[in-house]
Structure 1
Amino acid sequence: MPTKPPRVCGCGHRVPSTTRCPCQVKADHARKARHDEKRPSANARGYGSKWQAARVEYLRANPRYARCGAPATVVHHVTPHRGDQKLFWRRSNWQPACKPCHDGPLQAVEKKPTA
């Protein structure tokens, strides 16, 4: 199977085609750090002790993610609540999910702009 030749990063370094340049990784970390500084804490967003207790109870009753069959470790809000506390606590809006699926395809759908 043929491989792609190395590429030249904007900083001038030669980088294998399947990896990221250290300068790109550093820039990503800095961008994410700037975002996290502005983001409210989990507790301020509603994910405090009351949520943790409800989450544990829900995952006990719904131990598997239906899509892939993996053990559920995350309670996903089907419709993004975006701070709406009524929608946040509506159990019909909850779905058990495994962390890889939640952090991948489910979050990608959630991050799409609304029409």
Structure 2
Amino acid sequence: MPSLPWKAWYNTSRWRALRLRIFLRDLYTCQCGCCQMEANTSLLVCDHKRPHRGDERLFWDETNLQTLLKSCHDKAKQKAEQSSLHTRGVWH
């Protein structure tokens, strides 16, 4: 599989600053419905509500971002996204 250039965006200072801005906006509270607050940002994910699939506008759009607990993201969100791969194609 070819390298996906957008993966490098996650390693930029711009992304790190945006991620923290989203956590602050959401008051470090999971937006999945569990409403659990978590001060340890290593246990949080800045999640794209609508998958960006390399679309730079969607990637950086603050209205497309939400705070999720890593455990909620890894369970529900990833399961839903992976189960729909056959209907929307590959992630690149």
Please show how residues 24-103 of structure 1 align to structure 2 within 5 Å: 40=4, 44=8, 46-47=9-10, 48-62=12-26, 63-66=28-31, 67-71=33-37, 73-103=44-74
Give the direction of change, closer, same or farther, for the CA distance of 1:39–1:107 in structure 2 (3 Å limit): farther
CA distance in 1, matches of 2:6, 2:54: 12
Give the direction of change, closer, same or farther, for the CA distance of 1:95–1:71 in structure 2 (3 Å limit): same
CA distance in 2, matches of 1:90, 1:59: 14
Number of aligned positions between the proteins: 78
Higher relative contact order (CA 8 A, sep 6+): 2
CA distance in 1, matches of 2:56, 2:15: 11
- Displacement of 1:71 in angstroms is 2.6
CA distance in 1, matches of 2:7, 2:50: 20
Residue ranges of structure 1 left out of the alignment (5+ in a row):
1-34
Deviations 1:1-32 (A, max 9, x none): xxxxxxxxxxxxxxxxxxxxxxxxxxxxxxxx
Q: Given the two structures, how large is their TM-score scaled by the length of structure 1?
A: 0.58
- Give aligned-pair identity as a percent: 33
Give the direction of change, closer, same or farther, for the CA distance of 1:84–1:40 in structure 2 (3 Å limit): closer
Bigger Rg, which one: 1
Q: RMSD of the alignment, in Å?
A: 2.3
Q: Given the two structures, how large is their TM-score scaled by the length of structure 2?
A: 0.70
